[in-house]
């Protein structure tokens, strides 16, 4: 029987240099889109997909993330006294259960591959998900749920969320060399990290959602530094491809790179326009404000 994906890793140890000065004293993952921090969207997506254990790989300056997923009795009492029950519910209902969350310090931000490797002992010998909170996806069915359904249909294997990107942007992503392709699921023959458009094997890019077999840890253990002098997850996945089935899923939804200022602004607009309690006002404002552009 197919082993269930029960655990998710949230690498949040990065420095967020593209978003300075906002991220000088605040973790990038705590930046809010409308009224929720990015990391909360990621945890809710995982929970909706049936994830039971949440493993954060953190670093210096990331303690606000731990506080966010902890009880805040003083605030809860104040809200109760003031009769602000909706706010109280919003605060408590988002908390993962006691004993289901672990925090591991990465110590040095040596790269995404290294961050994932740090979770090795907590994952053990089972398939697991990796979610990058700064890749925020607006979709009807959460992206990780789509990936878990695809994995069940395919009978297992490593599944990566993929999307088509403009040819001139291939150097920003890990790019897939595709095999069999049914328009939704694509067999991954190879992965190339940030290729020049002229060398890119396709324009199908890997984004921040992965379901991986635990054998990846053996490869990460010995993974040399790659692009940007960091231990790259894509490099380990390229090696894993040789021994383990790999598929890309063209997920339904729109992905926003919230580690980038423009991507983050777009996400705020899109998520606000998707909310019935504010979409009219926001749309009117944008129309008026942008009228002269």
Binding site for ligand UTP (CB under 6 A): 11-19, 28, 57, 106, 109-112, 114-115, 132-134, 259
Of 110 and 282, the one with the shorter C-beta distance to ligand UTP is: 110
Of 55 and 159, the one with the shorter C-beta distance to ligand UTP is: 55
Tokens of 99: 């004993």
Closest to 123 (Cα-Cα) out of 21, 25, 3: 3
179: CB partners within 8 A, 6+ apart: 186, 187, 188, 189
Of 146 and 234, the one with the shorter C-beta distance to ligand UTP is: 234
The SS3 of residue 239 is: helix
Of 15 and 34, the one with the shorter C-beta distance to ligand UTP is: 15
Which contiguous run of DSSP H or E holds residue 65? helix 63-68
CB of 48 to ligand UTP, least distance (A): 20
CB of 65 to ligand UTP, least distance (A): 10
CB of 281 to ligand UTP, least distance (A): 31
Partners of 54 in beta bridges: 8, 101
CB of 18 to ligand UTP, least distance (A): 3
Of 144 and 272, the one with the shorter C-beta distance to ligand UTP is: 144
Closest residue to ligand UTP in the complex (CB):
14
CB of 287 to ligand UTP, least distance (A): 32
Helices (H), 69-135: 73-81, 85-92, 112-117, 120-123
Of 19 and 271, the one with the shorter C-beta distance to ligand UTP is: 19
Region of 152 on the Ramachandran plot (φ > 0 left; ψ -120 to 50 alpha; else beta): alpha
CB of 146 to ligand UTP, least distance (A): 20
Region of 249 on the Ramachandran plot (φ > 0 left; ψ -120 to 50 alpha; else beta): beta
């Amino acid at each position: 029987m197919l082993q269930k994906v029960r655990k998710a890793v949230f690498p949040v140890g990065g420095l967020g240099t593209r978003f300075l000065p906002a991220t000088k004293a605040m973790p990038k993952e705590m930046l809010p889109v409308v009224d929720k921090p990015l990391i909360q969207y990621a945890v809710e997506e995982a929970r909706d997909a049936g994830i039971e254990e949440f493993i954060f790989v953190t670093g210096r300056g990331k303690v606000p993330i731990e506080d966010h997923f902890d009880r805040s009795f003083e605030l809860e009492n104040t809200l109760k006294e003031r009769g602000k029950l909706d706010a109280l519910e919003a605060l408590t209902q988002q908390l993962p259960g006691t004993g289901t969350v672990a925090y591991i310090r990465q110590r040095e931000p040596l790269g995404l591959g290294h961050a994932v490797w740090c979770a090795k002992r907590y994952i053990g010998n089972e398939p697991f998900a990796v979610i990058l909170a700064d890749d925020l996806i607006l979709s009807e069915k959460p992206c990780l749920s789509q990936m878990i359904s695809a994995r069940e249909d395919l009978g297992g294997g490593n599944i990566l969320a993929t999307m088509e990107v403009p040819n001139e942007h291939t150097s920003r992503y890990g790019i897939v060399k595709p095999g069999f392709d049914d328009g939704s699921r694509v067999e991954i023959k190879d992965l190339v990290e940030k290729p020049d458009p002229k060398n890119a094997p396709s324009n199908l890019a890997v984004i921040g959602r992965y379901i991986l077999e635990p054998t990846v840890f053996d490869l990460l253990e010995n993974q040399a530094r790659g692009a940007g002098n960091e231990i790259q997850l894509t490099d380990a996945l390229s090696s894993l491809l040789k021994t383990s089935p790999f598929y890309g899923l063209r997920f339904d939804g729109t992905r926003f790179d919230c580690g980038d200022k423009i991507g983050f602004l777009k996400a705020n607009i899109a998520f606000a326009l998707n909310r019935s309690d504010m979409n009219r006002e926001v749309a009117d404002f944008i129309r008026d404000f942008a009228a002269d552009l």
